[in-house]
Amino acid sequence: MITTLVYRDNKFVAQNPPAETLSTLRNEPGVMLWVDLATPTDDEIKLILEATFGFHPLAIEDCVADSPLPKLEPYDDYLYLVMHAVDYTQTESFTTTELDIFIGKNFLVTFHRQPLKAVDASLERFIKNTALIVRGPDRFAHTILDAMVEAYKPALELIRQQIEQLEEGVLHRISADELFPRVVGLRKQLARLRQIVRPQREIAVDLSSGKHKLIRSVILPYLRDLGEDLARIETQAGSWSDQLILSFKIYLNKSKHSANAGIRALTAITALSFPATLVSTWFGMNYQYMHELTGRYSYPLAFALTLAATFATALYMRRRKWL
């Protein structure tokens, strides 16, 4: 599907003129075009990319084929840009949709195989607000890229909530069978996020460098802000990844402390039973002549000795803070 916005002298004048007239329109003085190709047919691709704008065959080939990495290639009279919009679900993790952008002196062409919220939202904004004055295709491009970066926020919020739930679980006896897969899964998601963001940040930095003549100086601060936003996302992802490792270490230390407490309790029980074991072992020896067994008060004395020795042991361990 082809969606076209036509501006004359920076003001909106038409929407979706016949595609056959675009070649004439782009050569008119004061006219600026935004042509969006969403899930286009082969005929639409040939009509717009080849016949109307005459893009380089290599750029068209890269545009039609999926590119795993962002790229920025300057040509004589336009810039070819590949970026990736992000989508996130807790079941499928991060997925991306490629967006190809051609930035010319008086035109912007966007190409994507799947619907993109950033593009749709930008189109809707410019169509509804027809009084909005737009100066330059680079303004269109920045609006789309900014919407793509904004789309990261819901994903980041979902990950933040998952990390907070995990940290709370660490403090409230989460099971190891549940903790380990969640930590590994979240770290994989964060690593994937950084792989997506890092090269796009580099593209944003390149665009804001001022070396591309089709990017006006007035747009450069906005593009720098875009690169800073992407840098913050990358930094946040790295920080959260380290935070997960810290939570995992806290869980291990907590488990070790619990195990040590159990061992200490068992050791204390063993120590407290030692006096009784010693006395009962002595009086339980099967010798024929044991004067300890013939006395009238032998049993009460043995019982009292056991209690006294046990109490003394407990008092000693208490003073040493072993109990």
pLDDT at 183 over 80: no
Longest dimension (CA), the chain: 127
What pLDDT sits at residue 102? 92
User: How many angstroms separate the CA atoms of 164 and 152, rounded?
Assistant: 18
Closest C-alpha to 190, from 94, 96, 70:
94
Q: How confident is the model over 204-256, as pLDDT tens digits?
A: 888 888 888 888 888 889 889 988 888 888 888 888 777 777 776 666 666 55
Q: How confident is the model over 104-115, as pLDDT tens digits?
A: 888 889 998 888
What pLDDT sits at residue 256? 59
User: How many angstroms separate the CA atoms of 302 and 298, rounded?
Assistant: 6
User: How many angstroms separate the CA atoms of 111 and 50, rounded?
Assistant: 13
Q: How confident is the model over 167-182, as pLDDT tens digits?
A: 777 666 666 666 677 7
Terminal alpha carbon distance of the chain? 77
Q: Kindly list the distances between the CA atom of residue 168 and the CA atoms of 121, 164, 245, 250, 313, in Å, as whole numbers in the listed order.
A: 37, 6, 14, 12, 40
What pLDDT sits at residue 150? 85
The structure's pTM equals: 0.71
Structural domains in the chain, CATH included, are: 1-134 (3.30.460.20), 255-319 (no CATH)
User: How many angstroms separate the CA atoms of 74 and 101, rounded?
Assistant: 12
